[in-house]
Amino acid sequence: MSDPKLKQRVVRHSPSRGAGSPDVWGIYEPDTGSIQYVCADPATRQAALIDVVWNFDAKHYRFSTGSMDQVLELVQQQGLSVAWVLDTHPHADHVMASARLKERTGAPNAIGAKVGEIAKIWAEIYNLPHAFDPARDFDRLFAEGETFALGELEMRVMLSPGHTLGSITYLCGDAAFTHDTLMQPDVGTSRADFPGGAASDLWTSIQAILALPADTRLFVGHDYGTKERDEPMWEATVAEHKAQNVHVRDGTIREDWIARRKARDATLPLPDRILAALQINLRGGRLPPAEDDGRHYVKLPLNRF
């Protein structure tokens, strides 16, 4: 849950720097501290929507579409056309809007290929052996190094496990959408304690991201604010992270970081949406099939965590 100080939706534009560089809009979702992205080719106005939220009220188990509506309004205002609906991983703290956006835009939806391995872990946890089929619910399952077109720009997939075993980073010119790996430099890095996650893998993924060119714009998945600032932030360059990131700046020792990350993760509560969200996200943002009363239900494993 985001800091009460940040209870406002914020939209910020990171303009293209020239040939081969995309326009990027970040749209802050305050209930979960998530940042949703629109990445667009300035030449063709084709856009990819990345990690857009289907709003879920965890107290009343109700859904609403305010965040995806806001994203699509921005697309319309900027004269863009949606070419892709992308997610970086099956989110634990929000419900993905993937299936709904595919219906509303006609664009294909995609995620990383290793989501199938994540689905197997959670099918056992939920005791739902036949519930999840990523090949059914996503149009593309991207492998490490795979590329695809966004107008005249190329997007490349970079496997970035640790937070989950199948998380991916999307690279587009000088922009990288790094999801739950790095936080802003004044916050540090993301947790790695969910089933299938590993701090050692997250360290390796972060180092690969920080090996990108120094001026690469890194767009993170979450911001919860700090005691020193009450404005949400989500963009910093590789150079800024290497110089200033409080967890992984240059000179950080791998073993020290892993120990600190594990100790910190051991104190973190389970996200309040995770058990409902993953049961939907592993279906591509689709609800479980309706039962004979026409309603949809999620299954919660008691005393599992």
**Domain boundaries along the sequence of the chain:** 4-281
d(C-alpha 61, C-alpha 301), whole Å = 17
Residue 246 confidence (pLDDT)? 97
Q: Which residue has the tokens 């479980």?
A: 288
User: Could you report the per-residue pLDDT of 52-68, keeping only the tens digit for each?
Assistant: 999 999 999 999 999 99
d(C-alpha 238, C-alpha 235), whole Å = 10
Q: Examine the pLDDT at 50 and tell me if it is beyond 90.
A: yes
Residue 128 confidence (pLDDT)? 97
Taking the CB of residue 136, how many other CB atoms lie within 10 A of it? 9
Radius of gyration of the chain (CA): 18
Taking the CB of residue 207, how many other CB atoms lie within 10 A of it? 12
User: Could you report the per-residue pLDDT of 247-302, keeping only the tens digit for each?
Assistant: 999 999 999 999 999 999 999 999 999 999 999 999 999 999 999 999 999 999 99
Average pLDDT value for residue range 214-239: 95
303 — pLDDT class (breaks 50, 70, 90): very high
Q: Which CATH superfamily is domain 4-281 in?
A: Ribonuclease Z/Hydroxyacylglutathione hydrolase-like (3.60.15.10)
Question: For residues 116 and 148, is the Cβ–Cβ distance under 8 A?
Answer: no
User: Could you report the per-residue pLDDT of 219-230, keeping only the tens digit for each?
Assistant: 999 999 898 988
Residue 3 corresponds to which tokens in the numbers above? 């800091």
User: Could you report the per-residue pLDDT of 104-144, keeping only the tens digit for each?
Assistant: 999 999 999 999 999 999 999 999 999 999 999 999 999 99
Q: Which helix (H) or strand (E) holds 293?
A: none
Question: For residues 192 and 199, is the Cβ–Cβ distance under 8 A?
Answer: yes
Q: Which helix (H) or strand (E) holds 208?
A: helix 199-210
Residue 4 confidence (pLDDT)? 44
User: Could you report the per-residue pLDDT of 90-110, keeping only the tens digit for each?
Assistant: 999 999 999 999 999 999 999
Residue 1 confidence (pLDDT)? 42
Between β-strands 153-159 and 34-40, what pairing exists: parallel, antiparallel or unpaired?
A: unpaired
Q: How many CA atoms lie within 13 A of 284 on its CB side?
A: 23
Widest distance between CA atoms in the chain? 59
Between β-strands 23-29 and 53-57, what pairing exists: parallel, antiparallel or unpaired?
A: unpaired
Q: Crossing angle for the helix pair 66-77 and 98-105, nearest 10 degrees?
A: 40
Taking the CB of residue 70, how many other CB atoms lie within 10 A of it? 17
Q: Which residue has the tokens 């070419």?
A: 83
pLDDT > 70 fraction of the chain, expressed in percent and rounded: 98
pTM of the predicted model as reported, rounded to 2 decimal places:
0.96
Average pLDDT value for residue range 157-185: 98
Average pLDDT value for residue range 199-205: 98
Q: Examine the pLDDT at 6 and tell me if it is beyond 80.
A: no
Q: Examine the pLDDT at 9 and tell me if it is beyond 90.
A: no
Residues whose CB is less than 8 angstroms from the CB of residue 9 and which lie 6 or more positions away in sequence, other chains included:
27, 28, 29, 30, 67, 70
Q: Examine the pLDDT at 240 and tell me if it is beyond 80.
A: yes
